[in-house]
Amino acid sequence: LGAGLVVNTNEVDAEVLTRRQSQDPKYVTQRISDLEVKNHDLENKNEKLTSENQNLKNKTTELENKT
């Protein structure tokens, strides 16, 4: 009954930060802001996917109980 596809990806994002960039408050502030926005988006997507996953699990349980 239960056929599924599991995909596990762990993305790592890295960038080179020069000494000059690290000492530039404007650059650092902008980079932090960009990362906070990206993190917020990922948290929202994760919450949505977690909710969808739970709904699908509930539907699966309902279908299994009917048989």
DSSP one-letter code for 25: H
Give the Cα separation of 28 and 34 in Å (integer). 10
pTM of the predicted structure, to 2 decimals:
0.66
| pLDDT at position 7 over 90 | no
Give the Cα separation of 61 and 11 in Å (integer). 32
Q: What are the pLDDT digits (tens) for 18-43?
A: 999 999 999 999 999 999 999 999 99
